[in-house]
């Protein structure tokens, strides 16, 4: 193990130190913005530097097994001997780079975006804490350590969604995210209990080494464990059926949406499946479920994104949809491709969110100047911003082309790789062809709704308002500079993993090979012919082109009315705009019955009546009755006492004399 | 000595005392009945001491001493009650009713 890997604790500890310092500052010196920015951004940049050195060491060392650094005995309880241990391998290296790299850029962007917020110190404290937990999640060497990070990022997500908690809707969105995640966490816990019961350990290395001998391939136990794990993933990574929290999570500040709800936290589920690839590969049914849910979510969320007007909501559904692709990837056994899409998505989606953030920032300022209360996130209030914000427009186009899958932008390679892997699996089961079709249609819609977003936001006539127009200008450099860096990634990250037909192809796949090697044993060997591969590439390009030009041709930004004057939606458009009424459905089927049950049964019947009434007050009442009976003997009349006394004396006398 | 008649007399005296305590209402009468019961017991001690040795006679002195003390305290209480309540009827003295 090279000495650089010994610094792994530093990567985790730096953001934690940032949290502690900024947390203290938020109490004692909330106005010391320079210090807060320095600490908040500094720890991330330092963590990125350390991570970079470590990743070089990992790339050079190419460990077959993960390097585990154990720090202390965490839970020594009988058979369960759990160490607090971190591990460094190729997969955690990739994740570490994404978390610290994209995280650092988003921290820099936040300096500009949140600069005038009174909760500046609190914001950076939460953001640092989030990065700490996220790194714990991806670097933990056992399921429980990962789970601590898993819960921690959920907590930070809750805190940051409800960052502007003065408005009830924001606080509610935070609660919704937290509760939805708890449902998923239940699955994660069940999976851990089952793993411990069958394997007797929760360390990654031990579990994955023991899995092939402990479980039967395709057996019930392994299927149950992996499905329970996947339930955790659906919560954290916003897949059907637990996806509804993610669009609501847009209530938080936009950089938070970029960092937590696009680039890192929501991809934790994909990381989990990729990390436990042996388990999933041994459970083909679960893998098919993962891929199916992913493909379905990809299409479903993409259709909703078609009719959203809130720019962040479009991106939120787009994120749900792209996460669906990642699950399709890891579900069909293309673990490296799922991670590849995770990386490219982290670049272009963070870029899209930050770009929309700078648009919202500028619009918000304009409305603030003119004291008008318009929705700064509604695309109907934008339009024609390309003239005022050239840098933002340029980088947003780069990200749009990347997510739409236009070659040679990064999203093209990662999405195409996932779809062609799904196509390849079609030989063994026809269902994978269905997945491939779902994914391809979703790709078409992705290109369409992203072009729609760009057209309505940056092109066509400006709908902001007469007086606001003069306040429209490009965001400050501290915000545009991270965008440009991310744009480089969004354009070029595809080079990490070129398709098989290219020279020096599939670098990331080979890099991750030690992690995914064991699962390859259970997956069918298959290589698409070069002809098929070419056809799929051309088809994917055609799909993206149809989506983009279709949107260009069908949508008329010039005819769009500002949000205030916009006509009501109707018919099919209304169904999409209202997100298929899934929120309403969940409310009617789950939330209301649960509230009714809690109120009527649990509170009024069990708590108020049974526990308070019968058990607590009832016991007191019975005792008071006995006391009342005793008090009736105390008449205060001497005569009565004497009678009782004599009667008692006679009884004792009788007993002494003869007994009964 | 006539043990049987002595015990019979003391039993009668004791019963009279009990009956007085139970039936009369005037505190002073009740008090006197208690004295009567004490003296009935004294008579029993004396009678039995004829056969069982002098221990019983010694105890009689103790009883008389205690009775004297009791009389002092009891009469003081009765006076206090009378000053407070202007009555000596026990049915009117029920401050300890539960």
CB contact under 8 A, B22 and A646: yes
How many folded domains does chain B comprise? Answer: 1
Which site among B16, B30, B97 would you substitute to test the A interface, given the most A Cβ atoms closer than 10 Å to its Cβ? Answer: B97
CB of A313 within 8 A of CB of A248?
no
pLDDT at A125: 95
Task: Name the band, by pLDDT with cuts 50, 70 and 90, for residue A494.
Answer: confident
What integer is the mean pLDDT of A296-317? Answer: 93
Q: How far apart are CA A323 and CA A230, in angstroms?
A: 13
pLDDT in tens, A203-230: 999 999 999 998 988 889 999 999 999 9
pLDDT of residue A659: 64
What integer pLDDT is reported at residue A126 of this predicted model? 95
**A384 vs A101, residue with greater confidence:** A101
pLDDT band of residue A660 (cuts 50, 70, 90) is: low
The H or E element containing residue A87 is strand A80-88
**d(C-alpha A575, C-alpha A582), whole Å:** 10
* Domain of residue B31, residue span: 3-85
Is the CB of A626 inside 8 Å of chain B's CB atoms?
A: no
Which residues of B fall within a CB distance of 8 Å from A639?
22, 25, 90-91
Q: Looking at chain A, which residue has its C-alpha nearest residue B96?
A: A636
- What angle in degrees, to the nearest 10, is found between the helix axes of A220-236 and A268-275? 160
B93 within a domain of the structure (yes/no): no
Average pLDDT, chain A: 90
Query: Which candidate from B25, B30, B98 shows the least CB-CB separation from A632?
Result: B98
- What mean pLDDT is predicted for residues A581-586? 89
Q: Looking at the domain assignment, is residue B67 inside a domain?
A: yes
Write down the pLDDT at residue A1.
80
Cβ within 8 Å, pair A630-B94: no
A629 touches chain B (CB under 8 A): no
Q: Are residues A633 and B98, on separate chains, in Cβ contact within 8 Å?
A: yes
What does the pLDDT look like over A380-419, one tens digit per residue? 888 888 888 999 999 999 999 999 989 889 999 999 989 9
In order of A78, A236, A445, A456, A635, the CA distances from A559 in angstroms are 70, 39, 22, 10, 95
Q: What's the first-to-final CA gap in chain A, in angstroms?
A: 91
Half-sphere exposure of A265 (CA within 13 A, CB side): 32
Q: Which residues of A touch B22 (CB under 8 A)?
A: 639, 642-643, 646
Mean per-residue pLDDT for A148-172? 93
User: pLDDT tens digits for A608-642?
Assistant: 999 999 999 999 999 999 999 988 888 888 878 88
Kindly list the residues from chain B whose CB atom is less than 8 angstroms away from the CB atom of residue A642: 21-22
CATH of the domain at B43: 1.10.287.3510
pLDDT tens string B33-74:
999 999 999 999 999 998 888 898 999 999 999 999 999 999
Which residue on chain B is closest to A641 by alpha carbon?
B22
Q: Across the interface, do B22 and A639 touch by the CB < 8 Å criterion?
A: yes
C-alpha to C-alpha distances, A127 to A95, A96, A202, A546, nearest whole angstrom: 17, 16, 29, 39
What's the confidence (pLDDT) of residue B98? 66
Beta-bridge partners for A68: A87
- Whether B94 maps to a domain, the answer reads no
A636 in B contact zone (CB under 8 Å)? yes
Alpha-carbon gap: B97 to the closest alpha carbon of chain A (Å): 4
Chain A residue at shortest CA distance from B91: A637
Kindly state whether A634 is in contact with chain B, defined as any CB-CB distance less than 8 angstroms: yes
**How many residue contacts between A and B have a Cβ separation below 8 Å?**
32
Q: Average the pLDDT over A466-471 and give the result.
A: 82
pLDDT of amino acid B94: 79
Nearest-angstrom CA–CA distance, A14 and A43: 5
Question: What per-residue confidence (pLDDT) applies to A573?
Answer: 81
Residue B21 to residue A642, Cβ atoms within 8 A: yes
Quote the minimal CA–CA distance from B61 to chain A in Å.
Answer: 24
Please name the residues in contact with B94: beta carbons below 8 A apart, sequence gap of 6 or more.
A635, A636, A637
* Residue B13 is assigned to a structural domain of this protein: yes
Q: Judge whether A642 is closer than 8 Å to chain B, CB to CB.
A: yes
Directed axis angle between helix B55-85 and helix B27-52, to 10°?
Answer: 180
Rounded to an integer, what distance in angstroms lies between the CA atom of residue A183 and that of residue A235? 7
DSSP state of A378: B
- Is B49 part of any domain? yes
Q: Which residue of B has its CA nearest to A638?
A: B90
Stretch B16-44: mean pLDDT: 92
Mean pLDDT of A315-340: 93
Confidence of residue A246 (pLDDT cuts 50, 70, 90): very high
List, in order, residues 6 or more apart from A561 with CB less than 8 Å away.
Answer: A380, A463, A567
The pLDDT value given to residue B1: 59
- Whether B93 has its CB under 8 Å from any CB of chain A: the answer is yes
Say if CB A88 and CB A66 are below 8 A apart.
yes
Q: Closest approach of chain B CAs to the CA of A642, in angstroms?
A: 7
* pLDDT top residue among B90 and A43: A43
Q: What ipTM, to 2 d.p.?
A: 0.82
Rounded Cα gap, residues A584 and A576, in angstroms: 13
Residue B97 domain flag: no
B65 within domain boundaries:
yes
A173 vs A54: CA distance, rounded Å: 38
Q: Which helix (H) or strand (E) holds A308?
A: none
Look at the alpha carbons of A265, A267, A269, A272 in this order and tell me if their dihedral is positive or negative: negative
- In this predicted structure, what is the pLDDT of residue A258? 92
The per-residue pLDDT for A79 is: 86
Confidence at residue A438, expressed as pLDDT on a 0 to 100 scale: 94
Q: Is A635's CB within 8 Å of B21's CB?
A: no
Distance, in Å, from the CA atom of A393 to the CA atom of A401, rounded to the nearest integer, reads 12
Binning pLDDT at 50, 70 and 90, where does residue A556 land?
A: confident
The answer to whether residue B92 is domain-embedded is no
Indicate whether A502 pLDDT > 80.
no
pLDDT of B16 strictly over 70: yes
pLDDT value at A569 more than 90: no
pLDDT digits (tens, 9 = 90+) for A69-87: 999 999 998 888 899 999 9
**Ramachandran category for residue A219: left, alpha or beta (phi over 0 → left; psi -120 to 50 → alpha):** beta
Q: Does A659 touch chain B (CB under 8 A)?
A: no
Q: State the DSSP string of A538-555.
A: HHHHHHHHHHHHHHHHH-
Maximum CA pair distance of chain B? 50
- Residue A280: its pLDDT value, please? 93
Query: For position A430, what pLDDT does the model report?
Result: 85
Answer yes or no: is pLDDT of B4 > 80.
Answer: yes
Give yes or no for B30 touching A (CB within 8 A): yes
- Under a CB-based contact definition with an 8 Å cutoff, are residues A187 and A241 in contact? no
Residue position matching structure tokens 């819960």 = A151
Is there a contact between B98 and A643 if contact means CB atoms under 8 Å apart?
no
Name the residue in chain B with its Cα closest to that of A631. B98
Question: Would you call B98 and A634 a contact, using CB atoms and an 8 Å cutoff?
Answer: yes
């Amino acid at each position: 193990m090279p000495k650089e890997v010994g610094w792994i604790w530093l990567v985790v500890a730096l953001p934690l130190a940032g949290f502690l310092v900024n947390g203290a500052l938020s109490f004692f010196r909330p106005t010391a913005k320079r210090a807060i920015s320095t600490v908040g951004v500094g720890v991330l940049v330092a963590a990125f530097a350390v991570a970079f050195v470590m990743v070089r060491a990992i790339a050079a060392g190419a460990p077959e097994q993960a390097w585990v650094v154990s720090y202390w005995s965490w839970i020594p309880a009988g058979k369960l001997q759990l160490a607090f241990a971190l591990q460094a391998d190729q997969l955690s290296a990739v994740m570490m780079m994404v978390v610290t790299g994209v995280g650092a850029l988003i921290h820099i962007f936040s300096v500009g975006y949140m600069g005038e917020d009174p909760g500046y110190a609190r914001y950076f404290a939460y953001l640092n804490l989030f990065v700490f937990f996220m790194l714990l999640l991806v670097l933990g060497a056992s399921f429980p350590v990962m789970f601590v990070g898993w819960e921690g990022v959920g907590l930070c997500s809750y805190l940051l969604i409800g960052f502007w908690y003065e408005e009830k809707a924001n606080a509610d969105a935070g609660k919704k995210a937290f509760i939805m995640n708890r449902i998923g966490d239940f699955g994660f816990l069940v999976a851990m209990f089952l793993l411990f019961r069958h394997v007797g350990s929760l360390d990654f290395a031990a579990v994955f080494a023991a899995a092939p001998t402990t479980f039967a391939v395709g057996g019930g136990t392994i299927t149950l464990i992996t499905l329970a794990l996947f339930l955790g993933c659906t919560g954290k990574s916003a897949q059907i059926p637990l996806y509804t929290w993610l669009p609501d999570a847009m209530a938080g500040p936009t950089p938070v949406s970029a960092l937590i709800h696009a680039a890192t936290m929501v991809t934790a589920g994909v990381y989990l499946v990729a990390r436990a690839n042996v388990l999933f590969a041994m459970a083909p049914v679960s893998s098919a479920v993962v891929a199916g849910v992913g493909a379905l979510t990809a299409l479903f969320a993409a259709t909703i994104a078609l009719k959203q007007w809130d720019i962040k909501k479009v991106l939120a559904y787009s994120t749900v949809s792209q996460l669906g692709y990642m699950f399709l990837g890891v579900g069909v056994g293309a673990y490296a491709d799922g991670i590849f899409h995770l990386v490219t998505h982290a670049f272009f989606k963070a870029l899209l969110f930050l770009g929309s953030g700078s648009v919202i920032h500028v619009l918000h300022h304009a409305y603030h100047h003119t004291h008008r209360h318009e929705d700064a996130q509604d695309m109907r209030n934008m339009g024609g911003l390309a003239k005022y914000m050239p840098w933002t427009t340029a980088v947003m186009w780069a990200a749009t082309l990347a997510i739409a899958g236009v070659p040679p932008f990064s999203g093209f390679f990662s999405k195409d790789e996932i779809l062609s892997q799904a196509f390849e699996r079609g030989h063994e089961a026809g269902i994978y062809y269905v997945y491939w079709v779902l994914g391809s249609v979703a790709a078409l819609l992705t290109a369409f709704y992203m072009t729609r977003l760009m057209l309505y936001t940056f092109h066509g006539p400006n709908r902001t308002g007469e007086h606001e127009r003069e306040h429209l200008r490009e965001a400050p450099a501290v915000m545009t500079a991270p965008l440009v860096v991310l744009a480089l990634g969004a354009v070029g990250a595809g080079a990490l993993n070129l398709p098989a037909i290219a020279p020096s192809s599939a670098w990331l796949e080979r890099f991750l090979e030690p992690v995914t090697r064991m699962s390859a044993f259970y997956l069918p060997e298959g290589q698409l012919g070069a002809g098929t591969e070419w056809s799929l590439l051309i088809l994917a390009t055609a799909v993206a082109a149809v989506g983009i030009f279709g949107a260009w041709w069908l949508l008329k930004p010039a005819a769009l009315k500002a949000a205030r004057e916009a006509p009501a939606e109707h018919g099919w458009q209304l169904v999409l705009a209202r997100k298929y009424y899934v929120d309403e459905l969940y409310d009617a089927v789950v939330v209301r019955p649960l509230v009714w049950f809690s109120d009527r049964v649990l509170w009024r019947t069990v708590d108020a009546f049974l526990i308070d009434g019968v058990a607590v007050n009832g016991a007191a009442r019975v005792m008071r009755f006995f006391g009342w009976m005793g008090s009736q003997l105390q008449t205060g009349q001497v005569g009565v006492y004497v009678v009782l006394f004599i009667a008692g004396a006679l009884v004792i006398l009788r007993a002494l004399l003869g007994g009964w | 000595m006539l043990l049987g008649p002595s015990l019979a007399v003391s039993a009668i005296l004791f019963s009279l005392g009990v009956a007085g305590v139970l039936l009369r209402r005037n505190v002073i009468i009740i008090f006197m009945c208690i004295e009567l019961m004490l003296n009935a017991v004294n008579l029993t001690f004396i009678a039995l001491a004829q056969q069982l040795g002098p221990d019983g006679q010694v105890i009689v002195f103790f009883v008389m001493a205690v009775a004297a003390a009791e009389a002092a305290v009891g009469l003081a209480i009765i006076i206090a009650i009378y000053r407070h309540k202007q009555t000596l009827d026990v049915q009117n003295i029920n401050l300890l009713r539960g």
